[in-house]
Amino acid sequence: MSSQYKKINTYLIRTTLVLLLFSSNILANDLKIKIINNPQNMDFWWIKNNSFGIIPSEINTGFLWYKKNKDITYQVNTLVIDSNIHFNESFIKYNFSKDTYLRFGKYYRDYSDYFNDSISSGHILVSNNAEAIPKIGFVSSYKIKKNSLVNFDFGISHGILDKNTSYTKRPMLHEKFLYMTIESGSNSLFKIGLAHEAIWGGKTIDDREYTGSSFKDFLKIFISADGPFIENTLHANALGNHLGIWDFSYQKRQNDKLLKIYYQHFFEDRSGLRFANKTDGLWGLELENYLTNTNILIEYLSTMNQDLNNDYLRDGYYNHSTYNLGWSYKDYIIGNPFINNLAIVPTEVMHLGIEGKIPNSNNSYKILSSRRINISDDIKLKIVLKRQLFDTVDYGIFLVSDGRERGLGFSLDWIIDN
């Protein structure tokens, strides 16, 4: 036990030092400190996945600092793992107006604002499975003057991935999106959007294919234009590794109840844009406050129709012939962790997520339960119970299970709000 206390001491000291490295008035702002004690076996699904790309250790210590004034938002999110400091979603955001802003740093996404990452199996483009990617992005909105019930949200960003054993020069990330929102009265709205991601540039270790690096190449990436022709194929593949979604969502509010229905349709070539891959993607139904202080989310994920177009090189949704690590960042899948980034593995998953507060108490809970249904598979389960000790201190216990194997962990949250 003494060694464990030494570890806790070491992590707390390092965290304190990190805090002191930032703003001199950091204690005058919102600060959240979190300590997690994981089970000895850390190979459970819900410990390894959707955990912000951090390889878990016996004890994780982290903090989140947040400050916002009229035009500028600052956020610093760090974790101390095995005496190493990791920066996750940390950025500076400058608002030119309410709906127009520039953001610089490490962050996840600016689209799919309906999506509940806390209890989902994972967004199929950008989830919380990997670390946030370093990016600079611009986002804005336009409301049609003649029809105030229709508005458009759009954005573009440029990011950079990591250098590793496969990439001798860091690849770049291009991201853009366009959404249309149609309001129906004051209680419901429908959104349809298109989000496009592309890995390009950099240099692969075998250097067999041109990956692009010039502004002319960027323009090809922007419009998904073809790259060099490759033998034994009917068509040239697009330059870079392209992924995207048609994003449909519907929300209806009735008093304090909120209904959400959504469908993220996957595409990685023109056939997917035309729905040739049928109903592949992520379907979701979320019920908020249909049971008091409770959110219930049911999701269905399918990739059963990927790789049906034989005119192009054999690529699944997340894997790629040139960028052989596929849709990943620092060895973690950027999107939904149930989709394989190294091989074409057809997958069907049912997922249930629930979070809420226990009536007449200071207790809250969260349940995550997933299972692949196209093969024989164990249920991947996580149950979290938390109790509020004081206004600013929570402690919790969590159970994880992958079939017969089970593990138990603990957490402590302390919020400083001055």
pLDDT tens, residue by residue, 61-93: 888 898 988 899 999 998 887 777 888 999 999
- Model confidence at 418: pLDDT above 90: no
3-state secondary structure of 230: coil
- Model confidence at 232: pLDDT above 60: no
Residues in a beta bridge with 73: 68, 93
* Closest by CA position to 221, among listed 241, 246, 244, 245: 241
The 10 Å CB-count burial string (b at 16+, else e) for 272-287 is: bbeeebeebbbbbebb
Cβ neighbour number for residue 364 with a 10 Å cutoff: 17
Q: In one letter, which amino acid is 216?
A: K
Q: pTM for the complete prediction?
A: 0.88
* 67, burial (CB in 10 Å: exposed 0-12, middle 13-18, buried 19+): middle
Query: Which has more pLDDT, 367 or 223?
Result: 367
- Residue 18's pLDDT band (cuts 50, 70, 90): low
Least confident of 139-143, 173-177, 202-206, 414-418: 414-418
* Closest by CA position to 138, among listed 119, 121, 157: 157
Structure tokens at 211: 């990956």
Structure tokens at 102: 């520039």
Mean of pLDDT values over 31-46: 88
Cβ neighbour number for residue 204 with a 10 Å cutoff: 17
- Model confidence at 16: pLDDT above 80: no
Per residue in 260-269, pLDDT tens? 999 999 987 6
Average pLDDT of the chain, as a whole number = 86
Structure tokens at 122: 């994972």
Residue listed under structure tokens 């090809």: 220
Distance between CA atoms of 61 and 51, rounded to whole angstroms?
13
Per residue in 333-366, pLDDT tens? 999 999 999 988 999 999 999 999 998 889 999 9
- Model confidence at 256: pLDDT above 50: yes
- Model confidence at 221: pLDDT above 60: yes
Tell me what pLDDT residue 329 has.
96
Tell me what pLDDT residue 27 has.
42
Tell me what pLDDT residue 40 has.
81
Q: What is the distance of C-alpha 285 from the center of its chain?
A: 18
- Model confidence at 398: pLDDT above 80: yes
The C-alpha angle with vertex 273 and arms to 267 and 278, in degrees rounded to 5, equals: 75
Per residue in 145-162, pLDDT tens? 877 789 999 999 999 999
Percent of the residues in the chain that have a pLDDT greater than 90, as a whole number: 57
Per residue in 258-294, pLDDT tens? 999 999 999 876 666 677 888 999 999 999 999 999 9
DSSP 6: H
Percent of the residues in the chain that have a pLDDT greater than 70, as a whole number: 85
Residue listed under structure tokens 């019930």: 149
